[in-house]
Structure 1
Amino acid sequence: MGTTQSGILGGRLPLADYETNFSDLHPALDRHEALVASDRCYFCHDAPCMTACPTSIDIPLFIRQISTGNPIGSAKTIFDQNILGGMCARVCPTETLCEQACVRNTAEERPVEIGRLQRYATDIAMKENKQFYARAAASGQRVAVVGAGPAGLACAHRLAVKGHEVVIYDAREKSGGLNEYGIAAYKSVDDFAQSEVDYVLSIGGIEVRHGQALGRDFSLADLSEQYDAVFLGLGLAGVNALRIEGENAEGIDDAVDFIAALRQSKTKADIAVGRRIVVLGGGMTAIDAAVQAKLLGAEEVTICYRRGKEHMNASEFEQDLAASKGVTIRHWLQPKRIALKDDKVAGIELEYTTLVDGKLTATGETGIIAADQIFKAIGQTFEASGLGSLAFEGGRIVVDAEGKTSLANVWAGGDCVVGGEDLTVSAVANGRDAAEAINRAFAAAMPQASAVA
C-alpha cells in the first residue's frame, strides 16, 4: 500500500482518537436504566415483538423478569431460545425486527429498548458465569458441525445439551464466524465474541478443530462416514465481482476483508485507509465499512448504491448512523469504470440509473468521483467444495423446514442455505432447529430407547 500524503496508510489519527471512535455504540444499561426501560413494556399477551424475533424469545417475559429484579431468570428465558443472545442483543437490527413491531413504536413514542434490555440480562449472567444447562447422559451419537459461526455454535450447543458428542470444524484461527470477523468493531467491544464462544462451549462435549477447511482438509463424504450426522453452517466466503475495467487495480479492496482486519486489530491504528473512499453497495457491510473508514481518519467517504434509499438493505437507523459520522450516501449510481493513475485508483466513473417498468436501467449519463480507495460491498457468494452431490438452488444448499438437505443425515443452516437471511439471529434459529431435528432423527432410529428429553 502507498504511504504518500495522498496514499493509503494507517495511523492517521492520535491513538486516543481510535479508542474513542471505536468505543461501544450502545453502552450497557445500568440497573436503574434497565428498570426504567423495562417499566415501559406493556407485556402484551399476543406480543408482536415476539413474533418478529426469528428465535421467538419470550420478550414480554424476559422484560418482566428484569422489571422484578430478576436479570438471571431473564437471561435464562433468552438463552432457552437463543444461546447467542448476548451478541444478538448487540448486532441484531432490532429497529427492523422486534422494536419495529413494538406497540409503543408510534409517531409519538419510541419503542421499548428490547435489544439493550436483552444485553443487560445476558451480560449479567455471563459475567457471573451462570450456567443454566447440564448435559444429558451420553447418547453415544457423534455429530460433525462444519463452521464455528452462529449457526454452527447454536447447533453444537443444543446437541451437547441432548448428550451428543460434537466436533466443530472451522477454517479460521478463531471461532465465531460472522460475530468474530464480520461486524463493525464498535458494535462488539472488549473481545465479547470470544467470551461468548467460551460461554457456549463451557457446556462440554464440544471439540473445535480450527484451520480445517471443507474441500481442502476433508470432504462431506469423509464426515458422513465418521459421524452419525453432519450439520453445515458454512456462511458466505466469496465476494461478488464488479466486472468493470480496472477492478484489479491497487486500491480496490473487499469490504469484508477490511472489516475483518479491523475486528482483529487491537489499536485500529495499524489499519490502512485512504483519504477519499468510495464504498459500493447498499447493505450492512457497506455501512459498516464506510463508517469505520471515517472513524479511521478518512476525509471523504461516499457510499454509492445503484437503487434508491428505500431499496437499501441497510436499515434506516444504520443509514442515519452513517450520515451522522459524515458519510455521504448517493443513490441511483452504478459503477462503470475505475479511473487509474500510475496503475493505482484515482477515482471511479459511475453511471446514473433509473427504474423503467420496474427494471433497473442505465441512463447513459455518467460522472466521476475522485477516490484513492474503493471498497466492494455488493454481496457475498457461497463458495464451497467437497460437498459431493448435495442439492443446490441459486448457488445455495436446498433444505426442508427442519434444515434437512438432500443427503441422508446431513443438515444445513445459516447463510449457506436457500433463503438464508444474512442475520446472526436467523442463523442461530437455523442451527438450534436443526439440532432438534437431528435429535429427533436419532430417537426415531432407536425405537427401543426413549427419546432424549
Structure 2
Amino acid sequence: MAQGQFTDGIVAGRLAPPDYSANFSDLHPPLDQHEALVESDRCYFCYDAPCMQACPTSIDIPLFIREISTGNPLGAAKTIFDQNILGGMCARVCPTETLCEEACVRETAEGKPVQIGRLQRFATDVAMGAGRQFYQRAADTGKSVAIVGAGPAGLACAHRLSMLGHAVTVLDARPKPGGLNEYGIAAYKTPNGFAQAEVDYITGIGGITIENDKALGRDFSVSGLLEEHDAVFLGMGLAGVNALRAEGEEAHNVENAVDFIATLRQASDLSGIRIGRRVVVVGGGMTAVDAAVQARLLGAEEVTIAYRRGRESMNASAFEQDLAASKGVKIRHWVQPRRVLTEGGEVTGVELEYTSFEDGRLSGTGQTLVIEADQVFKAIGQNFVAAPLNGSGEKIAVEGGRIAVDGEGRTTMPRVWAGGDCVGVGEDLTVSAVAQGRDAAMSIHKALIG
C-alpha cells in the first residue's frame, strides 16, 4: 500500500490519486472461466453436503458447483437464486470461511476448502452480466404488501412476494435502497456499484415499487400501512449505535464507525475523505475491522483496534482479523476504553484499561495505557430503535431489544411480519437476513391466499 507524506491532524488527500484506486480495488478478484472450471473440479459433490447444511439459505452447493463444472454457469446461477436472490452480494461479503467453506470436506481433509464463495460469485456474475432473469411474476393476486426497509431482508421478501403475484411497495429511510449492502460494507468488498446493480436486478422482476426517504415513525406508521395494504413486513435493521461509556466520548473527532463507512461508500472521490494520522477503533466485530482497514487504505499512518476480550471472542472472523493485520492494523486485546483524551477540544489519545476474567465476569484490572490518536471510531455494536414502531394501533412486542417473532417471522401484531437484524433470530449476517425475508414472504403468501 503506497503512502505519501503524512500530515498531523485529520485531513483529506493523504495519498497520491492513483493510490486510492489501487487500495480500494476488489478484495477478491473474480475467477475467470478456466479458474472456475478448475476449482469446481475440486468438489467431491458429497451426498450429505455439509456445506449446504452450513448455509443459512440452504443453497444446493454441490449442484451449482457441478453445473459450473459442466459448463453451465447460468444453471448454477438459477440454483443459487432459487434460494438466495442476493447470492451475488452474499458471495462477496459472507464469512464463508466460518460457514460453507469451514464445513467443506476438503477443509477437514486438507485444510484447503473448495472456494465456494468465489464459485458462487462467478455464476451469479455471469447471469447478472447477461441480464438473465429466471423468474416471472405469477398472475396478479390483487393483494399488496408494504415492506419497511430496502436492505437484504426487505429485498429478499419483496422479490419472493412479487414472484408469487403480490404487489409490493418498499419504503426506506435512506436516499438509496440496499440497506447494509449499500451503506454498511467496506468499499473494497463491493466495488463498482454492485449493490445498486443487484437492487436493479432484483426489482427487474417487476411489481416492486421502492420509495426512498420515507422513515417509519416520521412519514408513516405501521397501522397506517395496514389500512392501505394487506400485510406489512418490517426489515429496517439496526439504527442505533452503542455508546463507549467512556469519559470524553462526545469530543470532536470521536465518530461512529457505521457513519464513517457509509460516508466512504457514498463518496465519489475517496481523496476527499478526511482521515487522521493516528486512528483508534474500539470494537471487535466486522464493522470495527472494516473501519480500521479502510482508515489505513485512506492513508492513516497508525491504526489500532482496541477490544476488551481475547482474539477468540472477536465477532470478526479469523480471516477478517488476519486481513486487518496484513494491512498494518494493530489489534490490542484485553483492553477497554476508559477516557478519551483531548486538548483544546481535539482528540489526542485514548486511555485504555486492561481487562481480565474474574469469577466468570469481565472486569477492569485498574492498570491503564494510553494510545495516541487524533481520531476515534466507535464500533461496539448497533441496537434496534423501537420508538417508531408503535406510533398508533396495536403494540408490537420487543424482546431482548429486538422485535419478537415466531418461527415464521410473524410479530405480535396481526398481519405484520419482521426479519433481518431488527429481530433477535440467528446471526446478524446478510445471508441470514435474506433467509428470514424469503421465509417470511412464504408465510405472508400463505396467509394472503387463505
Specify the TM-score bucket, using the shorter chain as the normaliser. over 0.9
Shift of 1:107: 6.6
Query: Deviation string for 1:331-385 (max 9, x for gaps)?
Result: 0000000111111100000000001122101101011100000000000011143
In structure 2, the residue corresponding to 1:137 is in which secondary structure?
coil
2:422 partner amino acid: C
Q: 1:402 is matched with which residue: 408, 414, 425? A: 408
Paired position in structure 2 for 1:433: 439
Paired position in structure 2 for 1:355: 357
Query: CA–CA distance in 2 between the matches of 1:17 and 1:429?
Result: 38
Query: Deviation string for 1:106-161 (max 9, x for gaps)?
Result: 37330000000000000000000111000000000000000000000000000000
In structure 2, the residue corresponding to 1:439 is in which secondary structure?
helix
Paired position in structure 1 for 2:269: 267
Paired position in structure 2 for 1:77: 79
Shift of 1:243: 1.7
> Which ranges of structure 1 fall in alignment gaps of 5 or more residues?
445-453
Q: 2:145 is matched with which residue: 143, 146, 149? A: 143
2:442 partner amino acid: E
Q: 1:87 is matched with which residue: 89, 92, 105? A: 89
In structure 1, the residue corresponding to 2:424 is in which secondary structure?
coil
Identical columns (%): 69
Query: CA–CA distance in 2 between the matches of 1:185 and 1:166?
Result: 30
Deviant stretches of 4+, over 2 Å: 106-109
The CA RMSD over aligned residues, in Å, is 1.0
Shift of 1:31: 0.3
Q: 1:42 is matched with which residue: 36, 39, 44? A: 44
The number of residue pairs the alignment matches comes to 441
Which is worse superposed, 106-115 or 248-257? 106-115
2:13 is equivalent to residue 11 of structure 1? yes
Paired position in structure 2 for 1:451: none
In structure 2, the residue corresponding to 1:185 is in which secondary structure?
coil
Paired position in structure 1 for 2:166: 164
| Structure-to-structure mapping, 1:44-123, within 5 angstroms | 44-106=46-108, 108-123=110-125
| Structure-to-structure mapping, 1:277-316, within 5 angstroms | 277-316=279-318
Query: CA–CA distance in 1 between the matches of 2:145 and 2:273?
Result: 39
Paired position in structure 2 for 1:450: none
In structure 1, the residue corresponding to 2:356 is in which secondary structure?
strand
Query: Deviation string for 1:272-294 (max 9, x for gaps)?
Result: 10000000000000000000000
| Structure-to-structure mapping, 1:384-423, within 5 angstroms | 384-388=386-390, 389-423=395-429
Aligned residues of 2:7 and 2:14 also touching (Cα < 8 A): no
> Which ranges of structure 2 fall in alignment gaps of 5 or more residues?
1-5
Aligned residues of 1:214 and 1:384 also touching (Cα < 8 A): no
Aligned residues of 1:279 and 1:302 also touching (Cα < 8 A): yes
Change (3 A) 1:309 1:109: closer
2:165 partner amino acid: G
Paired position in structure 2 for 1:128: 130
* TM score, norm. by length of structure 1: 0.96
2:414 partner amino acid: A
2:449 is equivalent to residue 443 of structure 1? yes
1:246 partner amino acid: G
In structure 1, the residue corresponding to 2:377 is in which secondary structure?
strand
